[in-house]
Structure 1
Amino acid sequence: MPSRAPDDIERAHLRDPNDRRFTIARRLPPEPLRAWLRRFWIPVWDVPDGESAAQRVLQYPVCLSITTPGYSRFVGPNPGLSTTVLEGRSWGFGTMFAPAAGAVLSPGTLRDLAGTHCDLEQIPALAGLTEPVRVLMAEDPSAEETHAACCALVEERLERLGVPGEEDLLINAIVEEVEGDSSLLTVGQLGERFGLGERSLQRLVSRRLGLTPAWLIRRRRLHEAAGALRGTEELAELAARLGYADQSHFTHDFRTSTGSTPGEFARRWRDES
């Protein structure tokens, strides 16, 4: 049975710290499946009538699945800002796949799926999961036993993918390297670490993720920024640490990507504390 996942998605989730209208449970998959699966997330929300709660997320370079009472989707990597509006009382059961899994699961190219979604039932390996998940979640969407049962349904499907191949492991390693090393700032550096020329690296990342190596690095910097802005680091120091030419370039990049300036984002969190 998967353990609880650490709350390391928060730097990607640009939530309002004052918004208490939803909760998110997170669970890790068993170790043997982690080449295909990163985590499960299960949001449950209760938004008063007449209100809505917009959830803004700078997604990771992976595919997702999300099932709710109203829809069930397989979601491609989102190169922009993902926004979901929550209303009323409801729930979702979400799966965040590992980078390698997207191209294996998707019936088409991830370049075509990037920034959009298709019905979960169109994914051969996951077809037939929607109704069993809805039946389980309808009983008590906040119960850990319910979450475990839904996770088991997905895990059984992913076990059928078998042992990951060399390229599967390579694309996982490339993404892990970018996400885990803040000193990695250029596509050339990334290619050197894996013995790949820039063109070969570009083709691999495009085919397996529907994105570019430069996007991976930029998204990692934005995630780092969102995490650091919840603390006390000065903006100029943060911009320099993240490799921006100056604070104005950092401000422009963050505002363009999130809709808020770094100062506006930081004040929401610092006022809360």
Structure 2
Amino acid sequence: MKTLENKTAIVTGGSRGIGANICVSLAAAGAKVVVNYARHQQAAESVVAQIIAEGGQAVAAAADVAEAADVKKLFDVAEANFGTVDILVNNAGIVHYKPIELTTDEEFDRVMKVNVNGTFYGLREAAKRLADGGRVINLSSSAVRMMLPTYGPYCASKGAVEQMTRSFAKEMGSRGITVNAVSPGPTETEMFLGNNEAEKIERMRNLSALGRLGKVEDMGPVIVFLASADAGWITGQILPVNGGTA
């Protein structure tokens, strides 16, 4: 079913991994999609090509979400190509695995700049430019509740995303805009697999009640549901999508 027909979505960090699957899933549900990327232009264009080949509409848009002006440009691209913006998915983020004692100021600042500031800039722009009845979906992480060593700055950043989700839901409710966050568990993405040793990956797999890591394909349908009219009575919530990991 085309539950998102005639809707326009912006997906930050949409070129790879979970973000790419979100873009394809939204397009399959009928949405016109702005596929944001910061560095991976070819990957973003591949996502766009896949969507178009499957009968959808999409454009790629370069922007560093850590820069407020770039986030404004994302909305400009969406409006120029597709009209009003109905859905914002704040997916872009970076990871940092290092004990707090060994984390430099620059490393901490970069995590906060991308994960927290990037989400904040998206929310602020959405408050001004998202259509009434729209949807905002932020990406958090189940790591926030898992007490994992070396995850301190990352969990701090995602904890902030969850709190902004709750506050923004109250601020946007009068316009019929819902605001939620999805909290994935360990997922088989290039970023996760490439930044962790085999022993840690296996340990994370065994934490799941279902005995496996998440797949990027597990996330897209959940985002589509939260973006649809069927989820109109759900707002201010943090939805774990983690196979019972946390």
TM range (shorter): 0.3 to 0.5
**Quick check: which one's helix share is greater?**
2
The TM-score with structure 1 as length reference comes to 0.31
